[in-house]
């Protein structure tokens, strides 16, 4: 690839000045004229029939304008991410199914009055048996959480290819390991918020903190039975998402809409921090049993995964977790036979959803600890074992994934060469050092989740500056900067002359938003295609001015010039005015729509190339374990990543370092605990997050490959960066002290217990 002007360069973030100066506007900041405020009444029991809700005292409180219960919700206002699992309603009707579920809402002139009114609402419950364990929930006779889901199973996903049982029967070695992950909370600085306003002619405007305003726009139209042309969704800067804002936050979005319609005034609902924990979803916890079969040379023959996902009481992205991981599991290693079976199970607990690497963080922990365990059992170096079996460019995997670019082998090799991998591990004063490896894969947009299209609209101004209207959202991930770089590169203008406009469905093209590691590759490609079209128009004007053929011209950093004589040049503004100031005047607008070249998986078998590109990575953790206390200190994390062509190295490094730290938190301390349905730590005092004092040494390696489907060869990165961190740490603990920690988080108590059990067994 020839030297590029902006792609591949560390460009400062285009949103930095506003954010650093404190001028960036978030939805939580908005105040509309005559706005009212809504608050939610939470259930205090995990499973019960609602016998009666008395709102009379609350309704009489001065300043209260409206009290809503489940009986005020339209009967068909039910939603879920997976169509077979539509079970979410804005306010509980007839039953509550978890502690914290919203049973009533108050709208008042200010928040304090609304909160006071909540205490005046009296709810009479009839307690029902509850179930909190996923395996208990599936047993015959367990309390039924939703009548229409027998055995409390929201979704079963089964994928099977090859002769699985024969492969296990004929294998030289078979291993089996059970693992489990934990609940990780998103902990975004900006909580979920929704403000709704109706115009006198029946137009609806919703301001919400969403990663995907186009999807919210679609949901509101569909569920309210009004034309999409009557709905407008506006999203400002988003104060963090990590997948938790990938769909509308069902109850407060629709409660603000319903209340605003009834009252004729704008209504604002937002979650306080505890509500964010209870209602904002979290990373689902998973339970895995992994069986692996290899031949005498350590070549993989088969892998079987039996997985159970704790869905919680309702279906957000829990069902998608069970399905997506089936595809992920067949995209990293080559197998002769493969089986994935997942049950997504209802329990009387808060419900989980999508979080950075949907399902894949917990799944990759289970599979990569199992891979390490198998390598150790057959006496093979864990890095060698992986390198023998990882996919490579040109492979079509057993599930139909077509690997068009792949740097995973280089990732593994680069990671292990940065430590004394083949040398004895040092120890001193009861502390032992260990190294742990993991590999991972993630998609760049997933056709299994729906259409992977994006649109872009480019308007070139007469002064040569450019506006890009995109379906993306800037939520701290740097997407506006990457899109600006891609536009500047294709159009030949300066990055500082490109302005990204997004977050308004009335003007922006439809897009799936910032999710699924798709933004740079898919929205970026739509932007590039539109920019190329605008560039062709400008080249025609420049050719007239320079008296040459347009095909002899190039554009770079704000000038259009003759390739053979670069001193002969004009500005983009001059080229624009040449085609504008004439009979048959042309304004430079360009649009493009890009459909990612992936396939809809077979609806029965799941076979198919379900993503246009696959990002790969390897993590290597260096830890020190205190054998007297069980304390694990993470000394260093080496993160090697293949994300295709790197558009913005500084941005990529920031993503990687943030993702690795999130992975360290997931591995070591983060767990949203629920005891018999009662949330234990729904606040930032009790829910432990890694701080700057917990940051290990971070070493980042960028492995560049070229993806044929992405702009300038780019593919996704944002989710890949966290994956494998927890497995690498657990594997490093084994390398140091010889005990397997098979559940997250990796706590001193678990390590010390395992060490004592090993000692008692004579190990």
Q: For the segment 71-120, what is each residue's pLDDT rounded down to a tens digit?
A: 999 988 888 877 778 899 999 999 999 999 999 999 999 999 999 999 99
The fraction of the chain above a pLDDT of 90, given in percent, is 90
pLDDT band, very low/low/confident/very high, at 9 (cuts 50, 70, 90): very high
What is the average pLDDT value for the chain, to the nearest integer?
A: 95
pTM: 0.96
Distances (CA, A) of 699 to 22, 300, 345, 634, 727: 31, 30, 39, 13, 17
Q: If you write DSSP's letter for every residue of 120-145 in order, what string do you get?
A: T-EEEEEE------HHHHTSTTPPPS
Q: Is 557 designated active site?
A: no
- In the sheet with 48-54, reading across from the earlier edge strand, the strands are 95-96, 48-54, 122-127
Per-residue model confidence (pLDDT) at position 248: 64
Distances (CA, A) of 233 to 195, 203, 207, 467: 10, 11, 6, 20
Q: SS3 string of 215-236?
A: HHHHHHHHHHCCCHHHEEEECC
User: Rounded CA gap, 19 and 15, in Å?
Assistant: 6
pLDDT band, very low/low/confident/very high, at 448 (cuts 50, 70, 90): low
Per-residue model confidence (pLDDT) at position 724: 97
The fraction of the chain above a pLDDT of 70, given in percent, is 99
Rounded to the nearest 10 degrees, the angle between the axes of helix 524-546 and helix 479-491 is 30
pLDDT tens-place string over residues 512-558: 888 889 999 999 999 999 999 999 999 999 999 999 999 999 999 99
Per-residue model confidence (pLDDT) at position 419: 97
Phi-psi map region of 400: left, alpha, beta (phi>0 left; psi -120 to 50 alpha):
left
Per-residue model confidence (pLDDT) at position 189: 94
* Of 320 and 406, the one with more pLDDT: 406
Residue 246, pLDDT above cutoff 90: no
- What is the distance, to the nearest Å, from the Cα of residue 91 to the centroid of all Cα atoms in its chain? 26
Per-residue model confidence (pLDDT) at position 75: 87
Residue 427, pLDDT above cutoff 90: no
- 557: how many CB neighbours lie within 10 A of its CB? 13
Per-residue model confidence (pLDDT) at position 2: 64
Per-residue model confidence (pLDDT) at position 603: 87
Residue 330, pLDDT above cutoff 60: yes
Q: Tell me the pairing of strands 498-501 and 466-470.
A: parallel
Residue 410, pLDDT above cutoff 90: yes
pLDDT tens-place string over residues 716-743: 999 999 999 999 999 999 999 999 999 9
* Of 248 and 21, the one with more pLDDT: 21
Per-residue model confidence (pLDDT) at position 763: 65
pLDDT band, very low/low/confident/very high, at 242 (cuts 50, 70, 90): very high
Active-site hit among 496, 719, 749, 759: 719
């Amino acid at each position: 690839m020839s030297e590029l002007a902006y792609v591949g360069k560390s460009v400062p973030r285009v949103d930095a000045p506003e954010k650093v100066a404190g001028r960036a506007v978030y939805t939580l900041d908005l105040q509309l004229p005559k706005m009212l405020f809504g608050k939610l009444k939470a259930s205090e029991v995990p499973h019960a029939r609602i016998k009666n809700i008395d709102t009379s005292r609350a309704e009489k409180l001065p300043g209260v304008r409206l009290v809503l219960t489940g009986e005020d919700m339209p009967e068909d206002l039910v939603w879920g991410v997976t169509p077979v699992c539509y079970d979410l309603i804005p306010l509980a009707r007839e039953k509550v199914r978890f502690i914290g579920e919203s049973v009533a809402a108050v709208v008042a002139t200010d928040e304090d009055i609304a909160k006071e009114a909540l205490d005046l609402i009296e709810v009479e419950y009839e307690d029902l048996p509850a179930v909190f364990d996923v395996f208990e929930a599936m047993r015959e006779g367990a309390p039924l959480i939703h009548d229409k889901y027998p055995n409390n199973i929201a979704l079963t996903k089964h994928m099977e290819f090859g002769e699985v049982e024969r492969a296990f029967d004929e294998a030289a070695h078979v291993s089996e390991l059970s693992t489990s992950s934990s609940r990780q909370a998103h902990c975004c600085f900006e909580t979920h918020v929704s403000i709704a306003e109706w115009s006198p002619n029946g137009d609806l405007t919703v301001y919400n903190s969403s990663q995907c305003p186009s999807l919210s726009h679609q949901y509101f139209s569909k569920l309210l039975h009004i034309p999409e042309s009557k709905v407008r969704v506006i999203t400002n800067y988003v104060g963090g998402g990590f997948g938790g804002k990938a769909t509308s936050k069902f109850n407060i979005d629709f409660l603000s809409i319903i209340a605003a319609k009834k009252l004729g005034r704008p209504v604002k609902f937002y979650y306080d921090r505890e509500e964010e924990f209870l209602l904002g979803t979290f990373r689902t916890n998973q339970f895995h049993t992994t069986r692996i079969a290899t031949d005498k040379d350590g070549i993989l023959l088969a892998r079987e995964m039996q997985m159970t996902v704790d869905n919680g009481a309702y279906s957000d992205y829990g069902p998608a977790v069970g399905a997506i991981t089936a595809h992920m599991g067949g995209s990293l290693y080559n197998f002769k036979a493969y089986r994935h079976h997942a049950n997504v199970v209802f329990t009387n607990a808060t419900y989980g959803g999508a979080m950075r690497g949907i399902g894949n963080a917990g799944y990759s922990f289970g599979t990569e600890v199992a891979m390490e365990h198998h390598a150790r059992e057959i006496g093979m170096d864990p890095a060698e074992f992986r390198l023998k079996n990882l996919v490579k460019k040109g492979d079509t995997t057993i599930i139909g994934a077509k690997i068009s670019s792949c740097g995973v082998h280089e990732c593994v090799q680069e990671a292990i060469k940065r430590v004394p991998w083949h040398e004895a591990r040092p120890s001193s004063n009861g502390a032992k050092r260990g190294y742990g490896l993991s590999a991972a894969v993630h998609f760049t947009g997933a056709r299994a989740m729906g259409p992977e299209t994006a649109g872009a609209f480019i308007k070139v101004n007469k002064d040569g500056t450019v506006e890009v209207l995109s379906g993306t959202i800037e939520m701290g991930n740097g997407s506006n900067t990457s899109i600006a770089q891609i536009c500047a590169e294709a159009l030949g203008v300066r990055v500082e002359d490109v302005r990204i406009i997004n977050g308004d469905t009335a003007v922006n093209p439809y897009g799936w938003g910032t999710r699924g590691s798709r933004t740079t590759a898919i929205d970026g490609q739509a932007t590039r295609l539109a920019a190329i079209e605008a560039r062709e128009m400008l080249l025609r004007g420049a050719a007239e001015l320079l008296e040459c053929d347009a095909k002899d011209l190039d554009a770079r950093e704000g000038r259009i010039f003759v390739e053979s004589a670069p001193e002969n040049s004009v500005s983009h503004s001059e080229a624009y005015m040449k085609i504008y100031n004439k009979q048959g005047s042309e304004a430079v607008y360009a649009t493009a729509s890009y459909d990612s070249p992936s396939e809809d998986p077979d609806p029965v078998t799941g076979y198919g190339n379900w993503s246009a590109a696959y990002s790969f990575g390897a993590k290597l953790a260096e830890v020190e374990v205190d054998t007297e206390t069980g304390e694990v200190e993470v000394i260093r994390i080496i993160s090697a990543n293949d994300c295709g062509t790197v558009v913005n190295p500084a941005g990529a490094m920031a993503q990687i370092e943030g993702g690795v730290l999130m992975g360290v938190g997931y591995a070591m301390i983060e767990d949203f605990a629920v005891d018999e349905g009662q949330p234990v730590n729904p606040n930032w005092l009790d829910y432990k997050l890694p701080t700057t004092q917990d940051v290990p040494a971070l070493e980042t390696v960028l492995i560049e490959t070229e993806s044929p489907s992405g702009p300038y060869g780019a593919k996704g990165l944002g989710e890949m960066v966290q994956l494998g961190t927890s497995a690498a740490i657990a594997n490093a603990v084994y390398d140091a002290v010889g005990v397997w920690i098979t559940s997250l988080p990796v706590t001193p108590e678990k390590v010390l217990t395992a060490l004592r059990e090993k000692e008692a067994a004579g190990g």
